[in-house]
Amino acid sequence: MKTAVLLALLAGAGALVAADAIAQSPTQTRGREKSAPARQAAMPAPAPAPVVGPRFANPEKVSAARGEKVFVEYCAVCHGIHGKGDGPRYAFFAEDQYIPDLTIADFVQGRDQEILESIRGGLRRLDEPMIVMPQFKYILSDNDIRSALAFVKTLPNEPKTRK
């Protein structure tokens, strides 16, 4: 009995709330629907379309210090914290895949444009799913990519030759 009374009370309260919401509806005026232009004027403006590109435009200037932060966040998982190609993902690479040792001066020197393009567009030395390096052009701003290169150029401490 108590349950039936409680359910009746809840149903009545719900009906009152619904009737009040309909009465205050902005799309109706005295039982008639508003015209299409009036409805459109009452609607909020649509959000602007997303811009294709990096998720943000970094206003920071290009610097090796900023590049170190970018490198640690995005590159170290493969290249390792010190750039030796010994990051955690190295263990999952196939035998014919490699991660270059960025501490070898001969590997880095004179290849600025090539390295920038590799960061932006990624590397596809093998068929999918064995893509060696992902694209960062949609993730990092141009300043972040250039900062990462500035940091990579600081990694070689002394001239070494490739093996």
Nearest-angstrom CA–CA distance, 89 and 134 = 13
| In the chain, where the domains are located | 2-42, 64-152
pLDDT at 55: 55
Collapsing DSSP to helix, strand or coil, 133 comes out as strand
Distance CA 144, CA 55 (A): 12
User: Taking the model in full, what pTM does it have?
Assistant: 0.59
Question: How high is the pLDDT of residue 124?
Answer: 72
Looking at this protein, which amino acid is placed at residue 30? R
Q: Model confidence over 49-95: pLDDT tens digits?
A: 555 555 566 677 999 999 999 999 999 999 999 999 899 988 888 77
Gap between the Cα atoms of 60 and 41, Å rounded: 41
pLDDT beneath 70, residues of the chain: 1-58, 125-131, 158-163
DSSP state of 84: S
Are the CB atoms for 7 and 15 separated by under 8 Å? no
> In this structure, what are the phi and psi dihedrals at residue 26, rounded to the nearest 5 degrees?
-75, -10
64-152 folds as Cytochrome Bc1 Complex; Chain D, domain 2 (1.10.760)
Could you tell me which residues are beta bridge partners of residue 29?
A: 32
Closest CA to 78 of 32, 38, 26, 118: 118
Tell me the three state secondary structure of residue 143.
Answer: helix
Q: What is the 3-state secondary structure (H, E, C) of 44-74?
A: CCCCCCCCCCCCCCCCCCCCHHHHHHHHHHH
Instruction: Name residue 48's amino acid.
Output: P
Give the pLDDT of residue 123: 83
Q: Which residues contact 52 (CB under 8 A, 6 or more apart)?
A: 138
Lookup: tokens for 122: 């990624």
